[in-house]
Copies of this chain bind each other. A is one copy, B any other.
Amino acid sequence: MQHAPDSPDQLPPTPDYDAWPVETRLSTVEHQPHLVTLHWQDGRTSHYHSIWLRENAADDSTVNPATRERTLDLSRLGAWPTVEAARLDDTGALSVTFAPEQRTLRFHPGWLRAHDYSNTEHIDAPLVPVTVWTGDRHDAPHSLDAAGWLEREPEAPDAQALLESALTAVLSHGLVRLRNLPTEPGTLARIAERIGPLRSTNFGSLFDVRAKPDPDSNAYTSIALPPHVDLPTREYQPGLQLLHCLENSVAGGQAVMMDGFAVAEALRERDPYAFETLTRVKWCYANTARTSDYVWYAPMIRRDDSGRLSEVRIADFLRGPLMAPFDDVEPAYAALTTLQRMLHEPHFAMRFTYHPGDLVIFDNRRLLHARDAFAGDSGQRWLQGCYLERDEIRSRLRMLRRAERERRVASLVTGDTPTL
């Protein structure tokens, strides 16, 4: 069952540019000085602290109307904001009078419902749930036919749908493959900008992966590359890597991808001490080239504040000399060689051959990529690559979801939406 607000166009503004469908209405409100309790028509009860409500108001005393950025400084209010009165107004919105300001502010019910922290269990749940995989169960990247995609307007519904599928796959499985894209050099920049701005590095904005006469990276030779992330020598490794195949006629050179989180989880299970060691000891990652000298010290496996895996930093050919406390050195190498042996186990890896027009987008802080050696004289192998941050995928996906919410708000107002 759905309820359109009584006077939808008179609902208060929200503190952002987003759209918040009102899919259930408020029925009653209670208050104490520090708390407002809302009862919804679907039976839910929500609690909001007075200070939280005060700072999240959307009026001109709180938010700059031109930018929707906050201008309120709580510490200037003179006292902790408390609730003097709270009621539902005739648009269905919450109206609260705050002391010490004696200011009455209105709150949009759709926005309140979406930000009901008193009923939110996983505050910082990822936008898309993470699915950890191994190559024996997931033997090829999720693939989408992108023929014609780049020629369509980014706003076209089918172009948006393809992008949403692709970004969702990157957030869940860490990678996606788009097929049948153009093979003109430089196309990658146009593709990447459909997601967000590129991250340039000392290798340039777009880089060419092919055997070079005077290579400044093992990537630019024809030798095999072990499973690795790119640029572990940076304080923050790039969050995303895009590799776009322009030519591939060599013998060998198969692409290998594995989920670093699957390897890390397996290590935790088989050898918890090795796992703990790799989350603790800081390895040296170094790329001392002729014209740059990047060095960073970090553990090989990272968890976030909630204990979830957040990053692997594995790249044997970019490790510099370990400079750990003396007694950590042997345990660190023991853990490393255990991990290295696991990286050779075939069941972790998926293997595939790049075809011209393929683009693989993958999470460079989670996935490990590798390649088999190839015969440099057997043909041409040319990939173009670039980096982006994971922020760009999340922002783009939120924009796509926002567009969907806008359509829902519109249909609620016109009343032409079917059941939820």
**A residues whose Cβ falls under 8 Å from a Cβ of B:** 15-18, 34, 47, 49, 51-52, 55-56, 64, 66-75, 80, 115, 117-118, 120, 123-124, 196-202, 214-218, 220-221, 223, 226, 233-236, 239, 280, 282, 286-297, 299, 305, 316-326, 329-330, 333, 336-337, 340-341, 344, 389-391, 394-395, 398-399, 402
Contact = CB atoms under 8 A, between A and B. Distances in A.
Contacts of A75: 337, 340-341, 344
A337 to B, nearest CB: 5
Contacts of A80: 337
27 contacts: A17-B288, A17-B290, A49-B333, A56-B321, A64-B317, A70-B317, A71-B218, A73-B226, A74-B333, A74-B336, A75-B344, A117-B326, A117-B329, A118-B326, A120-B323, A123-B297, A123-B323, A124-B297, A124-B323, A196-B202, A197-B201, A200-B200, A234-B389, A236-B236, A292-B399, A294-B395, A295-B398
Given A52-B322, A196-B202, 15 more contacts: A17-B288, A66-B215, A67-B217, A67-B218, A68-B289, A73-B226, A74-B333, A74-B340, A75-B341, A75-B344, A123-B325, A200-B200, A236-B389, A294-B391, A295-B394
Given A236-B389, A297-B123, A330-B34, A73 B214 contact: no
A16 B320 contact: yes
Nearest to A325: B123
A122 to B, nearest CB: 10
A318 B67 CA distance: 11
Contacts of A202: 196-197, 395
Given A197-B201, A236-B389, A49 B329 contact: yes
A300 to B, nearest CB: 13
Contact of A390 (B235, B318, B390): B235
Contact of A198 (B16, B49, B200, B325): B200
A317 B71 contact: yes
Q: Which of A47, A56, A292, A297 has the most CB of B within 10 A?
A: A292
Contacts of A324: 117, 123
